[in-house]
Amino acid sequence: VKPGRLFSAVFLILSAQFIRLLPISVVHQPAQAASALSVQIAPGWDGTLRRIRVPVLMYHYVGDLPTNADRIRTDLTVSSSLFRAHLQYLQTQRFTPISLYQLEAALQQGAPLPIRPIVLTFDDGYIDHYSNVFPALQSLGYTGTFFIITSRPDANDSRYISWAQIREMSANGMSMEAHTKNHAELDQRDYDFLVYEMLGSMQSLEAYTGVMSHMFAYPVGRYDETTLQVAAQLPIWRAFTTELGSFHTTDNRFEMGRIRIHNTTTVGQLEFLLQNY
Ligand SMILES: [Zn+2]
């Protein structure tokens, strides 16, 4: 070791110790550095804050309505024929479905996106997603993002996709992401409960698919300050609300907007939503 280098090493260690001893308020931070510190960014950020418009569509059931469906079930259901019409529209308008990881790379590192990027998300892991959505997306070479309530496949509930189906979809280009273990609303909860529901569902997905889930959706769009704090401590890169919006930024990672698709969302209304939000 050259004496000069040793001296600078010792100097660095001593100055680091000195700074640590100072009260926080005495350490001067330039405004830019201070704001950068308050911004929680996932690993791999290149230092540039970006704002990108990518519509994230939110579907629930895709298929036939049961005869006794109530108002909520009806609103959450898009028929197979309407869903095919939506996909046909996206195809003719040359939209390119991308994964949330592509969106994340674009926001974090400026990775290029295809023309007219769009994200197709499907909440709750209904069996429809395996029987109707997965083959429809595959036939067009589209990718989809599925937010899974992991207690449902844990219980082998036949109304929901199984772990074997989740694994198959994951292995065939679909993103299988976390939506808690029990679809618990995440506002007004304590730390342990939030970690159990959020990290628990992520770990189950990783255990069954071999792929870590970094994307999350709040059940019923419910969350509060504590939820956001816990999200920032977990390996969650992006968390989605049910709020309407298609503009995404590098730093606002845990309050991502989407476009809700209803039973009544015609192709014309889809077009309106894509052009105006
Ligand atoms: Zn849900």
Q: What is the pLDDT of residues 101-120, one digit of tens each?
A: 999 999 999 999 999 999 99
Distance from the CA of 8 to the center of ligand 1, in angstroms? 56
Helix (H) or strand (E) holding 128: helix 128-128
Q: Mean pLDDT, to the nearest integer, of 151-157?
A: 98
Distance from the CA of 192 to the center of ligand 1, in angstroms? 21
Q: Which residue has the higher pLDDT, 25 or 58?
A: 58
Distance from the CA of 132 to the center of ligand 1, in angstroms? 18
Half-sphere exposure at residue 49, Cβ-oriented, CA atoms within 13 angstroms: 10
Burial of 71 (0-12, 13-18, 19+ CB in 10 A): exposed
State residue 28's pLDDT score. Answer: 35
CA proximity to 234, closest of 250, 208, 219, 254: 254
Confidence class for position 71, pLDDT limits 50, 70, 90: very high
Task: Tell me the percentage of the chain whose pLDDT exceeds 90.
Answer: 83
Distance from the CA of 112 to the center of ligand 1, in angstroms? 31
Distance from the CA of 37 to the center of ligand 1, in angstroms? 33
State residue 11's pLDDT score. Answer: 43
Q: Mean pLDDT, to the nearest integer, of 78-100?
A: 97
State residue 147's pLDDT score. Answer: 98
Distance from the CA of 126 to the center of ligand 1, in angstroms? 10
Distance from the CA of 123 to the center of ligand 1, in angstroms? 5
State whether residue 144 is helix, strand or coil. coil
Distance from the CA of 104 to the center of ligand 1, in angstroms? 22
Q: State the CB neighbour count (10 A cutoff) for residue 161.
A: 27
Q: Mean pLDDT, to the nearest integer, of 42-68?
A: 93
Report residue 113: phi and psi, to 5°.
-110, 155
pTM, two decimal places: 0.85
Min mean pLDDT across 1-10, 172-181, 194-203 is at 1-10
Q: What share of the chain is helix, strand, coil (3-state, %, to 5)?
A: 45, 20, 35
Gap between the Cα atoms of 255 and 228, Å rounded? 9
For the segment 235-264, what is each residue's pLDDT rounded down to a tens digit? Answer: 999 999 999 999 999 999 999 999 999 999
Q: Is the dihedral of CA 34, 39, 40, 41 positive or negative?
A: negative
Q: Mean pLDDT, to the nearest integer, of 20-26?
A: 36
Task: For residue 251, give Cα distances in angstroms to 46, 179, 214, 223.
Answer: 12, 21, 16, 18
Q: Mean pLDDT, to the nearest integer, of 45-57?
A: 95
Gap between the Cα atoms of 98 and 138, Å rounded? 13
